[in-house]
Amino acid sequence: MESAQESPSTRKSARESLSERAYRDLKAQILENRLSVGRQYMEQEIAERLDMSRTPTREALIRLANEGLVEIRPRHGMRIKPISRDDMREIYEVLTSLESQAAALAARRSLSKAEIDAMRRAVADMDAALKDDDLESWAEADERFHRLLVEYSDNRRLIALVGTFIDQSHRVRMITLRMRPRPTDSNQDHRAVVEAIARGDADEARRVHRTHREKSGRMLIDLLATHGMTEI
């Protein structure tokens, strides 16, 4: 897959359809929280915002609805789906399951030194970021770690699914990033996962990662509860 990334305004983007662009732009706007959650947007409105007709807009909306980011309500337009505490529970239950499976699969394959090193580097970067109290960097490295782990599963469906649910919960994670306690033992967990994978110990990798995700999921949901946030 060639990534011909040009400035979209000047360069008539080679072969990307409007429908595709609508999907990517809209998704980006949602993830960056540039659209008000809960508010209704008419198809026409979205289409104008994207500077195209309703047809490709609708096609993008269908895809986004399938991914659970958006809800299409027949006579009321679409709205960004707010994430409730219960949604977060569901999302984390699914992520826990899929990612711990990914850890086991990664352990079963014998990863190259380079692949293991990439994960170790992510963990090291998290340590460093934590030492500097740089939450931004920590979040970046954390995301990188999880992405690598899942990629090493060698299962395209698994990779796509995890991506979908990471996206669904993205907003919540960003918002709660500054409310949560310093993720010290999170790093501990990650290290244990990497080492289990390096040893090829699938059961241990799965177990440790599951425990890790269960813990962080519970923490996040408690956080929402104590701050009285019911929908984000």
Distance CA 77, CA 87 (A): 22
For a second copy, the binding residue among 25, 93, 167, 195 (CB under 8 A) is 93
For a second copy, the binding residue among 26, 30, 47, 105 (CB under 8 A) is 105
User: Three-state SS for 71?
Assistant: strand
What residues contact 143, with CB distance under 8 A and at least 6 apart? Answer: 166
Residues that contact a second copy, how many (by CB under 8 A): 28
- Total number of residues shown for the chain: 232
By CB under 7 A, residue 19 contacts DNA: yes
**Residues 192 and 145 sit within 8 Å (Cβ to Cβ):** no
- Give the x-and-dash track for 181-220 against a second copy (CB under 8 A): ----------------------------------------
| Cβ-based burial of 231 (10 A; exposed 0-12, middle 13-18, buried ≥19) | middle
Give least dist CB 201 to a second copy, A.
16
Distance CA 61, CA 59 (A): 5
Closer residue to DNA in complex, CB, 52/124: 52
Q: Could you tell which of a second copy, DNA, none binds residue 161, using a CB distance below 5 to 8 A set by kind?
A: a second copy
C-beta atoms surrounding 47 within 10 Å? 20
For DNA, the binding residue among 68, 77, 82, 200 (CB under 7 A) is 77
By CB under 8 A, residue 94 contacts a second copy: yes
Residue 97 has which token pair? 């399951």
Region 128-157 residues binding a second copy, contact defined as CB under 8 A: 153, 155-157
Encoded amino acid at 186, one letter = S
Binding site for DNA (CB under 7 A): 14-15, 17-20, 42-44, 52-56, 58-59, 72, 74-78
